[in-house]
Structure formats: C-alpha cells, structure tokens
Amino acid sequence: MSTTAKRVYGYLAEFDSASALYKGAEKVRDAGFKKWDCYSPYPIHGMDDAMGMKRSILPYFVFFGGSAGLLTGFSLAFVTQVLIYPTVVQAKPANIFTTAAFFPIMFELTILFSGFTVLFGLLGLMQLPRLNHPLFASRQFARSTDDGFFIAVEARDANFNPEETKALLEDAGGKNIELVQEED
C-alpha cells in the first residue's frame, strides 16, 4: 500500500440495464455536467440526446478534406496533362473541356481525402490512440465490455462535489459507486 496521495479521476457508478443507464444519463445531463461519459457493451439508440451531446464537427472537416482532394485531383491532372505536357489521345483536345477524362481521378481523390479526414479527424477528436485510461484502475470497469453499464463523472468538472455528485448518482439509480483514483 502506497501512502502517497493519488489524483482523483472521478466517480464511477454502475447501472442495471441499458434503460437505467439511459435514464441516469438524462439526470446527469440535467445536473449540468460537461466532463462525464457513459460506457456500455453496445451502442444504445438515442444516447446522444440523453447525454445532451452536440453534433460532431467532424462533417465540416470531411467537407474540406474532400474539397481538398477534388482540387488536388483536378490540379494534378490539369497541370501535368494540359499545362506542362499536353497529352493528346485520339486527337482529343487537351484543354479545360478535357476535364471529363480527369473526373475519375478527381472522384477517387475526393473519396480518399474524405476517408483520411474521417479517420484522422476522428482519432484527433477522440484523442486516440492513448496508452492508458484512469478508469482502468477500477476492477469493476472491466465489465463494461461484457455486461456492465457505467457512468463516470470526472472530478475535473466544475460542478463536481464529492458528496453531491455521489448523491446525484445514487439518486439516478447508480450502484457500486466508486471513487476512482488514477494509478501512478
């Protein structure tokens, strides 16, 4: 047993079922918490609303990623095959109206850049990959990938209060409430 003070991550509360988790999440949301999350073995429909989550800004990234792909594809083809080295195939003209020939590559690069933006944008927004998570310190949390439904409220949240938050979680139907401390 170490005697040094550990940093408190927050409260972890278990819920009986997906619907209990859903209703609990609505209460935590209404209490005005911002830094908290729900954990369940499978996705639950409508959870975004129950948690009061805003729409992700990822689509906007993807729009600009895709547009960048479109422009890259066009300029790559246009500069190389029309401006620098006009490529004449079957006596077809090499000018702006040849764009039809470039559409496939413009299309492909739009898709590719959009895909990359989705992947890396998502990883960035979720701050992944990461090597550890403070909740791994909790033994019961392992069940979140099996049959456990959890809500974790972080101590960093401005509304966090050791007693009141615990009472709120109990009131919301949480069980086995545990103060999770970060491991060294």
Partner 1 sequence: MAHHVTSKDIPAEGESLKGSHVNKIMLISTVVFLVGAVGCLLMFNSEDHFVRSGFSYSWLFAFVYFSTLSLGGCFWVTLHHVTNSGWGVSVRRLMENLGFVFPFMALMALPILLQPKVQNDLFEWIKRHREVSLLPVKHHGEGDHKMEDKDKHSSLESKELERHAIEHVALQPEGESHKGESKSHGKEKAYKDAHHYLSDPEEIAKHVAEKEAKLAEAAFIVSDSTTSDALHGTHDAHDHLLYVKTFYMTSGKWIKRIALMFLFLGAGIYVMRRVSIKQDTDPKPTVKRLIWNRKFSTIVMPIFALTVTFFAFDFVKGLDYKWFSTMYGVYFFAGCAINSMAVLILALTWLRSKGYLQTVTSVEHYHVMGKLMHAFVIFWAYVSFSQFMLIWYANITEETSYFLLRNTESWNTWSSILVWMHFALPFALMLHHKAKKKPILAAAAACYLLVLHILDVYIMIIPERGPSLTAAAGMDPQLFLSHDAFWGDILAFVTVGAFFLTVFLFNIRSARLYPNRDPRILESANLHN
Q: Can you tell me the distance from the alpha carbon of 41 to that of 32, in angstroms, rounded to the nearest whole number?
A: 25
Q: Does residue 55 interact with partner 1 by CB under 8 A?
A: yes
Beta-strand relationship, 8-15 and 149-154: antiparallel
What's the min distance (Å) between Cβ of 90 and partner 1?
Answer: 6
Name which of 54 and 130 has its Cβ closer to partner 1.
54
15 CB-near residues (< 8 Å, 6+ apart):
21, 24, 149, 150, 151, 173, 174, 175
- Nearer Cβ to partner 1, position 91 or 131? 91
Decide if residue 158 touches partner 1 (CB under 8 A). Answer: no
Q: Of 19 and 145, which has the nearer Cβ to partner 1? A: 19
Q: Does 64 bind partner 1 (CB under 8 A)?
A: no
Binding site for partner 1 (CB under 8 A): 45-46, 49-50, 55, 59, 63, 90, 92, 100-101, 103-104
